[in-house]
Structure 1
């Protein structure tokens, strides 16, 4: 049965603020690591990760806005904002693939670059999961728990497909507006001829399963923590 809508209670607002502070501290660590690397090496090799982190924060910002005003927004507002959220959502877990850029460089220790990229990848993944929890909660309140989990699973699988489009075909979220025909053609081609594009579905399924299992683990750990208090 759908869960009745209700305004956020004070403990929920406090939890939201604590989450924002914790994510802010983690993002600050990534920014400091990137800034120090630029200062130390006089190179902007990983400065692009700042932009990637910004893009990863957008879906979390949108879901936070929706979550805090869920009891007041109508479906005609929730739907378009939710579609924008889904469009930007893959940018968050996408940072995991920035590990492809890890290689030994003479200008800085290998372990430093590993810590830097892992920090950014972790933040992208946590922003994705935190954002998805918000959206799953919204769906569950209206349509029930089963629909909420179905939505979360589909969103993660679609984000994996988005990761492929971004990493291998080099599309961006805004290509939906600036380059829609090419994007549409490449997507339809892979849907109509799946066996001609094995890497597309390999990346989508493998990353999708990984993200779904990780998300389910995070949700379970959260419930175990609540029950033990």
Structure 2
């Protein structure tokens, strides 16, 4: 398919125009016009680009791309090397941030729910851009058992900030760096909140509001949406797709 066709499809499918974001969503670095092979990955780091080059990919689709707000605008150092590699090999880079978090079918939040076996998963409609989700466990667990379950399902032990509740039945979550949704999660009355990252203030918020908090890893909670997007495109358009995981403990 043509690059412009892929861009137009993703603009509509991911409902990009609904979101106010911290980086451009869509084509970030232009490559060749025809796309047959796509690589997906969480972050547009150099090892991912190198792997895409080795596989002769025509396009890379990521959740974390380039040109974030408040970062230096000059193209030097690490950013120069990354972009130079893309241009030298005529590879398109497309990035989708909040639209990929929120998508109800293949987004990071719904895919995390499936990975963790959470049921009745749905977005909280009165939160900004519907990025906070909530649901419940199929069966209630102790807080310690739920931490072990998260670690087993995501391949990374979460940081658990405990509360007084002895059982966890209801959960809210938002993937990535969404620890400050803990107050909105508490307002829902859930027993636990899951996100990717954690801040010093999160400890006090969890303890004082009696909500268990699990920092399950930014990378670990956002592995699944971009994979699902690549698989969707492969099925929809007959593209060759390869997900490449560049491991990240954060």
Task: Tell me the TM-score normalized by structure 2.
Answer: 0.28
Q: Which has the higher contact order (CA 8 A, sep 6+)?
A: 1
By percentage of residues, which structure has more helix? 1
By percentage of residues, which structure has more strand? 2
